[in-house]
């Protein structure tokens, strides 16, 4: 099935996939629309970092998720890669 979806996508045919399997969605998608409790949280490129997608899947807006992920990454690097304790 994946090969067929990829072939159709690559030929310009719009394909919509509904899945809870993040790996599958990222592999097949150009863009990802995240829904939470029936509400559209945001539409982002498929190369959006997994931590941002995870926050969006928990109901955090795309903008806020990106900001939180950046802050977490910055804190991680500021600690020399050490976890906050």
**pLDDT tens digits, residue range 34-66?**
999 999 999 999 999 999 999 999 999 999 999
DSSP code string of the chain: -HHHHHHHHHTT-------S-HHHHHHH-SEEEEEETTEEEEEEETTS-HHHHHHHHTT--HHHHHHHHHHHHHHHHHTTTPPP-
Q: What total number of domains does the chain contain?
A: 1
Choice between 60 and 82, residue whose per-residue pLDDT is larger: 60
For residue 84, tell me if it sits in a domain. Answer: no
Confidence band (pLDDT; 50, 70, 90) for 1? confident
- For residue 16, is it within any domain? yes
| Residue 50: predicted pLDDT | 92
Residue 12 has pLDDT above 80, yes or no: yes
| Host domain of residue 74 | 2-78
Let me know if residue 11 belongs to a domain: yes
If one compares 5 and 40, the residue with the highest pLDDT of the two is 40
Q: Is residue 64 part of a domain?
A: yes
46 found inside a domain: yes
């Amino acid at each position: 099935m994946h090969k067929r979806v990829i072939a159709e996508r690559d030929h310009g045919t719009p394909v919509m996939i509904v899945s809870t399997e993040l790996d599958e969605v990222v592999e097949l998608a150009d863009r990802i629309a995240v829904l939470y409790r029936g509400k559209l949280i945001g539409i982002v490129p498929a190369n959006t970092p997994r931590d941002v997608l995870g926050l969006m899947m928990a109901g955090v807006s795309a903008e806020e998720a990106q900001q939180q992920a950046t802050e977490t990454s910055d804190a991680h690097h500021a600690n020399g890669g050490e976890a906050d304790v």
